[in-house]
Amino acid sequence: MSSTGISPLRRFQQYLSLIKFSHTVFALPFAFIGFTLAVVYFHNPFKWDLLVKVLLCMVFARSAAMSFNRYLDRQFDAMNPRTAKREIPAGVIKAEHALTFTIINCVLFIATTWFINMACFYLSFVALFVVLFYSYTKRFTALCHIVLGVGLSLAPIGAFLAVTGYFHWLPLLFSFSVVTWVSGFDIIYALQDEEFDRSQQLHSIPAALGVKNALLVSTLLHVCSAIFVVTAGVVGHFSWVYWVGAAFYGVMLTYQHMLVKPNDLSKVGIAFANTNGIASVVFAVFTIVSLFFS
């Protein structure tokens, strides 16, 4: 498809679609948790400009990761009926433009961390390596879901580090909960491509273990996520408000596993996007409110 005649707004929308900007809702609420922990719970001054920089880092890092993933997987996406209509295989966005977009976001991410603090700046290269490296992992390991989880788990500890300049166990517990939560729901999402992955010798938990066992692994990971959420509440001595949010989080994790059955994958999309998006936002709201009473 030619780009001639496409308005800037339409082109902007195409890039938002390329990076699935709507899925930012998964990790962004946990970044707010990390930021609020640092400000309210650990008594650091609130700065609007710092919050904006943290949000920009989230946007730039995730945009770089997603566009690079689309660029690297463009040939597989073109062969997979489920993904053939994505922007690059469909010709909506050229591959080289997606790569340029990736590089620009990487530079902007690093530059933004420079204006936060030196700890964030030096660790920005590690963070970029993790989120970009994920795109290669499906080619050689079924643990690719864990790598994705690690990438998104940088949100709460990264936001905390932006405010304080040091690490602490409490935001790390939230990061651990993100690792296991994201890994678990990414396995559910990968169920859709079990046969395609096997045919192309791509690696994933569903391709390696089959649908039924993959769902068991996903369930175990989500149990671990709930345990980390509970542990964070105990360690932080959070108020009852937090436990309401934690209970809702656990219910939503349970609900998505009720939606997806080994013999019925028709509701994978709902389980992946809707339940997880709602779970992260609601849990973050209750957690942030509880910090003002802890």
Q: Count H helices, E strands: the chain?
A: 14, 0
Q: Where are the domains of the chain?
A: 11-291
Give the pTM: 0.93
Q: Which residue has the tokens 């433009």?
A: 97
At residue 270, the pLDDT reads 83
Whole-number pLDDT of residue 22 = 66
Question: Closest Cα to residue 78, out of 67, 66, 89?
Answer: 89
For helices 144-164 and 118-137, give the axis angle rounded to 10 degrees.
Answer: 170
Contact call for residues 255 and 200 (beta carbons, < 8 A) = no
The H-assigned helical ranges of 19-164 are 28-36, 48-72, 74-79, 95-114, 118-137, 144-164
**Token pair of 152 as six digits:** 């998104």
Q: List per-residue pLDDT tens for the chain, 294 residues long.
A: 444 567 888 887 888 778 776 677 788 999 999 999 999 999 999 999 999 999 999 999 999 999 999 999 999 999 999 999 999 999 999 999 999 999 999 999 999 999 999 999 999 999 999 999 999 999 999 999 999 999 999 999 999 999 999 999 999 999 999 999 999 999 999 999 999 999 999 999 999 999 999 999 999 999 999 999 999 999 999 999 999 999 999 999 999 999 999 988 889 988 888 899 999 999 999 999 999 986
Q: Tell me the fold of 11-291.
A: Tetracycline Repressor; domain 2 (1.10.357)
Among 146, 138, 150, residue whose Cα is nearest residue 186 = 146
- Amino acid letter for position 60: F
pLDDT score at 27: 87
DSSP labels for 153-179?
HHHHHHHHHHHHSS--HHHHHHHHHHH
* Interatomic CA distance for residues 177 and 33, integer angstroms: 12
Is residue 230 within 8 Å of residue 243, measured between CB atoms?
A: no
pLDDT at 272: 81
The pLDDT, as a whole number, for residue 33 is 97
Q: Are 64 and 109 in contact (CB under 8 A)?
A: yes
**What's residue 2's pLDDT?**
43
What phi and psi values does residue 261 have, to the nearest 5 degrees? -120, 150
